[in-house]
Amino acid sequence: MKSLRKTSAVLDCFTREDRRLTLAEIAARTGLPKTSVHRQLAALREIGFLVQDGRRDAYRLGFRLLALGGVVLADIDLMRHARAPAETLANQSGEAVHICVFDGRNVVSIERREMEAASNEIVRIEREPPHCTGTGKAILSTLSDADADRLLDDLPSDGALPRFGPNTITDRVRLRRDLTVCRARGYAVDDEERNPGVRCVGAPIRRHGQVVGAISVTGPAARFPDARLPVLAEMVMATAAKIGLNLER
Amino acid sequence: MKSLRKTSAVLDCFTREDRRLTLAEIAARTGLPKTSVHRQLAALREIGFLVQDGRRDAYRLGFRLLALGGVVLADIDLMRHARAPAETLANQSGEAVHICVFDGRNVVSIERREMEAASNEIVRIEREPPHCTGTGKAILSTLSDADADRLLDDLPSDGALPRFGPNTITDRVRLRRDLTVCRARGYAVDDEERNPGVRCVGAPIRRHGQVVGAISVTGPAARFPDARLPVLAEMVMATAAKIGLNLER
DNA sequence: TCCATCAATTCCGATATCCGGAACAGCTCC
DNA sequence: GGAGCTGTTCCGGATATCGGAATTGATGGA
């Protein structure tokens, strides 16, 4: 089933930022010949994974993918059980809280609107690179080296891990050392690795001993001095444990 | 690209109700030989569209589909513009309000938690059969016969349209007659066609003359006598027009 | 209005890929 | 410990997929 790899590569071109792409753009990003891309696009359009606005316009992801995502969403009881503890954590820490879900292969963050706003709608569902976020590293730190490597292999890579800023750990050996530290102390720190100026403390959420997600607090580096990290980490870990307990029942 | 059809059929086996399926179940539902299904599953697992709990356990849809759904969600500004008018409609009518989005190929309903609850989270994202819901028929009624047929062809079919209750319109000719009526008066009525005992009044939402979704009020048939339908329809159509105006700007 | 330019689409023969029946392996439950 | 079922591997034949090259169609400037 080699062709599905290409199909997957085509779909991967679409991101939150690039939601409308032309055949040529997709060909350039995937490195595939235009003809192959054209065939892929036609097939994806046929099954409703892509739609074209006009007759010759750019492509968008189709709503059928939204529906499939909805099926997945229905499967996540982590979100239900995490709600109350997450809000408590947000109040305790005074910082933004992120929750991630993990299915053994993908780390996806589900963000809600800021707590201040009246509504609490899900506004962002987004894949996260695991090697440079508090939640991602928290999850990685609980995995075997083989499992962790499989996750990292999914990243777009030209040898090193993708860089997002000066602090991003792009070397696998260095990352592995960092993960050992995380594993030992029970929490992960993202020190401006994903977004310069933003720090983050994350801990894994387990059900029956298995990681199913992670939770973190995030904020400007100025509000996250080294001395405060252990304090925040305690809260985060306690919250993660609470959610885990909720899940077991 | 014939194989993608099969891939699509495999993914279609997973629904909100059947979220965990074994190879044998999928083979039975799709009618494909076990070997072919096995190859599909292996490939889908490889690209992260499916995950397996244990080494030989049932399959679930992978979180990567959730992430792709998130990209689609980011593309829908209908939801942002619809929020306020939808709430007004809920208060005016005292009934549950549904909003659907449409990309030319799929009708997907995005449901929120009941208004009474403090939170307003998205709790359900689900594909809707277009031929038996207020929103679906509202959308169909705006399309050309050819476009409408394409939508109906996507439904699992053994000749007639899928039946959900005694009132479901399963005959295409009868449906077309009903749609003509809907088109003329500007709104669609679901008379216990999807769920016995539940009635529904829906109207299309247009942007620049093109349908992009629909909105409806839904409730027990006892509260939706024939005499009340035009009253509700007025509210629904006014709301749809308001949302359409919001979108144009 | 015409032409130049670029993007999207169609064509086609070679070949790698997918197909699915049959045999095999590995659980699980008597 | 064995029977029965489900999932997995193997393999030769058919065919769908591959991508270069030519064609068609849109776009914008002179």
pLDDT at B114: 52
- Closest-approach residue (CA) in chain A for B37: A1
* Residue B118 pLDDT > 50: no
CATH class of B3-70: mainly alpha
Three-state DSSP at A153 gives: helix
- Helices assigned H by DSSP within B141-206: 145-153, 172-185
pLDDT at B111: 80
Task: Find where tokens 């959730």 sit.
Answer: B66
Triad B202, A68, A121: Cα angle to 5°: 65
pLDDT at B116: 43
Alpha-carbon gap, residue A97 to A68, rounded angstroms: 26
Task: Find where tokens 């606005």 sit.
Answer: A53
How many other CB atoms sit within 10 Å of the CB of residue A239? 27
Tell which strand C nucleotides have any atom below 7 Å from a protein Cβ. 7-11, 16-22, 27-28
pLDDT band for B120, please (50, 70, 90 cuts).
Answer: very low
Domain boundaries, chain A: 3-66, 76-248
Question: Residue A132: what are its φ and ψ, rounded to 5°?
Answer: -140, 25
pLDDT at A204: 97
Residue nearest to nucleotide D10 (CA to C1'): B35
Q: Which residues contact A106 (CB under 8 A, 6 or more apart)?
A: A127, A154, B48, B62, B63, B64, B66, B67
B145 touches chain A (CB under 8 A): no
* Residue B177 pLDDT > 90: yes
| Residues of chain A positioned with their CB less than 8 A from the CB of B82 | none
A4 and B7 within 8 Å at the Cβ level: the answer is yes
pLDDT tens across A162-215, in order?
999 999 999 999 999 999 999 999 999 999 999 999 999 999 999 988 899 999
Report CA(B6)–C1'(C9) in Å, whole number. 25
B102 and A63 within 8 Å at the Cβ level: the answer is yes
CATH architecture of the region B76-248: 2-Layer Sandwich (3.30)
What are the residues with a C-beta under 7 Å from any atom of nucleic chain D?
A 2-3, 6, 32-36, 39-40, 55-56; B 1-4, 22-24, 34-35, 38, 41, 55-56, 58
Q: Considering only residues 40 to 79 of chain A, which have any Cβ-Cβ distance to chain B shorter than 8 Å?
A: 40, 42-44, 46-49, 51, 60-75
| Residues of chain A positioned with their CB less than 8 A from the CB of B154 | 48
| Residue among B63, B120, B150 with most chain A CBs within 10 A, to mutate | B63
pLDDT at A121: 56
Rounded to the nearest angstrom, the minimum Cα separation between A19 and chain B is 7
Give the torsion through C-alpha atoms of B51, B53, B54, B57, to 10 deg: -90
pLDDT tens across B40-67, in order?
998 998 899 999 876 667 899 999 999 9
A122 and B125 within 8 Å at the Cβ level: the answer is no
B62 and A103 within 8 Å at the Cβ level: the answer is yes
| Residues of chain B positioned with their CB less than 8 A from the CB of A107 | 63
Rounded to the nearest angstrom, the minimum Cα separation between B178 and chain A is 26
How many other CB atoms sit within 10 Å of the CB of residue A166? 8
pLDDT at A118: 38
Per-run averaged pLDDT (10 residues), chain A, 249 residues: 86 89 89 88 90 79 93 86 90 92 92 51 82 97 91 85 95 95 96 96 92 95 95 96 90
| Residues of chain A positioned with their CB less than 8 A from the CB of B112 | 121
Query: To the nearest whole number, what is the mean pLDDT of chain B?
Result: 89
| Closest to A188 (Cα-Cα) out of A242, A225, A150, A133 | A133
CB B114 within 8 A of CB B136: no
Three-state DSSP at A39 gives: helix
Residue nearest to nucleotide C6 (CA to C1'): A24
Tell which strand D nucleotides have any atom below 7 Å from a protein Cβ. 6-10, 16-21, 25-27
pLDDT at B113: 56
pLDDT tens across B77-115, in order?
888 888 889 989 999 999 999 999 999 889 999 887 554
Residue in A60, A69, A107 closest to B75 by CB:
A60
pLDDT band for B121, please (50, 70, 90 cuts).
Answer: low
- Please report the DSSP string for B190-235 in residue order: EESSSSTTEEEEEEEEEETTEEEEEEEEEEEGGG--GGGHHHHHHH
Domain A3-66 has CATH 1.10.10.10: yes
Quick one: average pLDDT of B11-22?
90
| Residues of chain B positioned with their CB less than 8 A from the CB of A11 | 68
Residue B36, Cβ density class (10 Å: 0-12 exposed, 13-18 middle, ≥19 buried): middle
Would A3-66 and A76-248 be classified into the same CATH topology? Answer: no
